[in-house]
A and B are shown apart, each in its own frame.
Chain A
């Protein structure tokens, strides 16, 4: 079995871990000053009053995007090299499910900014949950409940899930001996100067056209034509495809074809959004 598969790209693996760790650490000073009952003002307080608060917020935002990006590359890399053949069903499943979990954590982070954009995204997500038959209302109450209790639950999930994902990844997936070496110092350091210069301001108001987070722009365009529950299913589709790699390793090429087609169509919808 070993001979059939390639070797994972270690650079991408270390990059995704290092940006994840930077994201975790930069989140700590923010968490001390964030108040979910008073979200927008506390974010402004972090930006304006707290020493290096703006810097940490930028770094947190940037490293979260980078984590998502490198995690995607890492996932594609492992599929391309056929590494799912080495994993058991359960461990592959858990690893794949980490990805939507990470997306959810990033999304809750996007809501926690509590500016106009975050508010819209939260309301849309909430109403999309409500459109799911049978379990929708329960999911909405469990995961967001933004219209009832504000950002309290969103903030709690942001903290709890990042803690659980970190715990799980460091126990079963990431090898600290490989990551924490002085040779890898610059894998961590390169993010910091970008965080100094690249600002991610709060967006107050965009008039008649509002834009969601970049990974959901395609979904936003799809929602103009399709029903919300169908769009929700379409967003879950890649997870099902990724899970089925472990069940049907013989059909990996067909699955990859579907996955690539999905990504192309989704990106085309994302691009369409800007010309619509």
Chain B
């Protein structure tokens, strides 16, 4: 009986150790590297006042250029621009933002995440 008890405990111990080795890699994910997107001066001058890229929004206000992440600060949906009201709208839970990125209404409660825009002579570079 003592030997069986020992084997049971030993088995459970081994099981526990192996589950740790099994589960540890399952919880680990590799973070993707940061992206830098370059828009040349020529292309940039053709763009309208608001430009929606896949992952960011580019807004021109006067001489200033702002870039926002296109992810809604609420739960990460892809934001859209509503030309009728002139606002940036989240399609999932209807949060609304001005084109300068300020929060107006909806569940998001935060302003849009601003990205750094690097201006050079040849164009602009947005870092995501």
Contact = CB atoms under 8 A, between A and B. Distances in A.
Nearest to A145: B29
Interface residues on A, range: 20 to 34
Contacts of A220: 92-93
Interface residues of B, number: 22
A120 B77 contact: yes
Interface string A137-149: 0100110010111
Interface stretch (A176-184, A201-209, A262-270): A201-209
A206 B93 CA distance: 13
Interface string A110-154: 000000100110011011100000000010011001011100010
A223 B93 contact: yes
A175 B27 CA distance: 36
User: Which among B29, B30, B94 has the highest number of chain A CB atoms within 10 Å?
Assistant: B29
A224 B96 CA distance: 12
Given A120-B92, A141-B29, A208-B91, A223 B80 contact: no
A210 B78 CA distance: 10
A208 B91 CA distance: 4
A108 to B, nearest CB: 15
Nearest to B106: A224
Interface string A258-276: 0000000000000000001
A53 to B, nearest CB: 27
Contacts of A224: 93-94, 106-107
Contact of B91 (A141, A153, A210): A210
A225 interface: yes
The secondary structure that dominates the B interface is: loop
A223 B94 CA distance: 10
A54 interface: no
A225 B29 contact: no
Contact of A148 (B31, B74, B76, B80): B31
27 contacts: A116-B78, A120-B78, A120-B92, A123-B76, A123-B77, A124-B76, A126-B76, A127-B74, A127-B76, A142-B26, A142-B27, A147-B76, A148-B30, A148-B31, A153-B29, A207-B80, A208-B82, A208-B91, A208-B94, A209-B94, A220-B92, A220-B93, A223-B107, A224-B93, A224-B106, A228-B75, A276-B94
Contacts of A148: 29-32
A134 to B, nearest CB: 13
Interface string B69-98: 001001111101010000001011110000
Nearest to A221: B93
Contacts of B106: 224
